[in-house]
Structure formats: structure tokens, C-alpha cells
Amino acid sequence: MSGHFLAFKNREKTSESKKNSLRENLSFRKLNLINKNSSTNEFTTNVNQISEEELGKIRNKVNQRQRKETLIFGLSFIIIIILLLFIGLKYNVF
């Protein structure tokens, strides 16, 4: 029984060390976020300086990508339906 008891004690020690390391990681991340907060304020001021023409170009690119995605989805959907119909006709499902 002593072997099992020692294994349990070792497991407790590792879980405590994991908890401590997680606490340290969380506190370190909090400090990083606090330090980055000042840089994010600077970043938002830079974003506000983007001109309307650049915003229009970005919107056009996004719209084009969305159109391509919907077109590809529609075509693939139609192709899958046609294939299912042909397979159904081949095996006399209908």
C-alpha cells in the first residue's frame, strides 16, 4: 500500500506545481495585457487615420471575396444535388 500512497502524494505535488505555474502564467498574461493596453490606444488612433478611399478599397475586396465564396458554395451545392440525382436514377431510388 505504501507504493500507492507515494504515487498519490506525488500526484498531489505535481498538481500543486501545475496550479502554481498556471497562476504565474495568468498573472504574467494580465500584466502583458495591461502593458499592451497603452499600445492598443495608439493603434486605434492609427486606424482612425485611414482614408475613405482605402476603406472603400478594403470594402470592395471583402465584397468580392464574399461573392466568390457564395458562388463557389452555390455551384458545389448544385453539383452535389445533380450527382445525387444521377446516383438515385442509376439505382432506381425514385
- Whether residues 1 and 24 fall in one domain: yes
Q: Quick one: 38 and 25 in the same domain?
A: yes
| Number of folded domains that form the chain | 2
**pTM confidence score:** 0.43
Give yes or no: residues 39 and 58 share one domain: no
Shared-domain flag, residues 77 and 34: no
CA distances from 73 to 21, 76, 80 (A): 46, 5, 11
Based on the fold, state whether residues 33 and 21 are members of the same structural domain: yes
Query: Do 88 and 65 belong together in one domain?
Result: yes
45 and 89 share a domain?
A: no
Tens digit of pLDDT at every position of the chain (94 positions): 555 656 666 666 667 777 778 778 777 777 777 777 665 555 555 556 778 888 889 999 999 999 999 999 999 999 999 999 999 999 988 7
Domain enclosing residue 55, as ranges: 51-94
d(CA 25, CA 19): 10
45-50-54 Cα angle (round to 5): 160
